[in-house]
Amino acid sequence: MGSWFPENISTYGGDLDSLYYFVYYVVGAWFVAAEVLLFYLMIRYRRRAGHPAQYIRGDTWSQLAWVLVPTIIVFGLDMVIEAKSGPLWARIKEVDHFPTSGVEVHVSGKQFQWEFTYPGPDGKFGTDDDLTIGDELHVPVNKNILLDLQAKDVLHSFFLPNVRLKQDAVPGRTIKMWFNATKPGEYEVVCAELCGFGHSGMKGAFFVHTPEEYDKWVSERWPATAKAASTNDTAS
């Protein structure tokens, strides 16, 4: 099964995969036990001459224990799964648990393109050096990336399969996300919510750069980096 997951490249993706496998082994064991029992009973109690059915109603507490005790164990395991799942959800999704600083990018979904806005050298949005690029997400490796997600027209869903991050984009709202990618390379960013006839193919390239590559990309995009930065200093 492991080979079916796309390669994980985020700090929390490994924990998500581990949680998946934990649930897989827990419910897998119950599933196999239930199916084996079902098939065993089917074969063991097939109709045979001289073996009439027994009149068992399963309505006394001692008989119901055969149903209720496994159910209580199921309940216990449910709580264990929830105890593992809750904190991981909080770490990925609850804003209170987000890293406080990192590289900021604004993401906007529209029919049928992802737009990424970078704040530029001044680190601020809404200034002249902002840069908006369609369908290309560039981030440095091993840095916290803080994203603001918006949608311009209909619902979209921002999905980075390799990062294990998915979040619907809702018109009229700004939703915060974060991740930290651990392996440089080129991946895909896709849309996971039906958004119209062009939904299929609404995707972009997702680049995780080494520090050197990232600096190179920045200097190509903002060639006047040094000059602009000094101008800003003077102005303030």
In the range 26-55, which residues lie near another protein by CB under 8 A?
A: 27-28, 30-31, 34-35, 37-39, 41-42, 45-48, 51-55
Torsion of CA 84, 85, 88, 89, to 10 degrees: -160
Size of the site for another protein (CB under 8 A): 88
Task: Quickly tell me which residue has 């906007």 as its tokens.
Answer: 108
Which of 134, 196, 211, 223 is in the footprint of another protein by CB under 8 A? 196
Looking at residues 217 to 236 of the shown chain, list those that interact with another protein (rule: CB under 8 A): none
Binding of residue 169 to another protein (CB under 8 A): yes
Comparing CB distances to another protein, the nearer of 77 and 228 is 77
Burial class (CB in 10 A: 0-12, 13-18, 19+), 236: exposed
Binding of residue 132 to another protein (CB under 8 A): no
H or E element that contains 31: helix 13-44
CB 116, CB 125: distance < 8 Å: no
Which of 100, 172, 233, 236 is in the footprint of another protein by CB under 8 A? 172
d(CA 66, CA 68) in angstroms, rounded, equals 6
Instruction: Report the candidate in 170, 173, 145, 148 with the shortest Cα–Cα distance to residue 157.
Output: 170
Looking at residues 146 to 165 of the shown chain, list those that interact with another protein (rule: CB under 8 A): 153-155, 157, 159, 161-162, 164-165
Binding of residue 144 to another protein (CB under 8 A): no
Beta bridge partners of 139: 208
CB of 146 to another protein, least distance (A): 15
Looking at residues 65 to 94 of the shown chain, list those that interact with another protein (rule: CB under 8 A): 66-68, 70-71, 74-75, 78, 81-82, 85-86, 88-90, 92-94
Binding of residue 136 to another protein (CB under 8 A): no
Q: Which two tokens stand for residue 74?
A: 């199921």
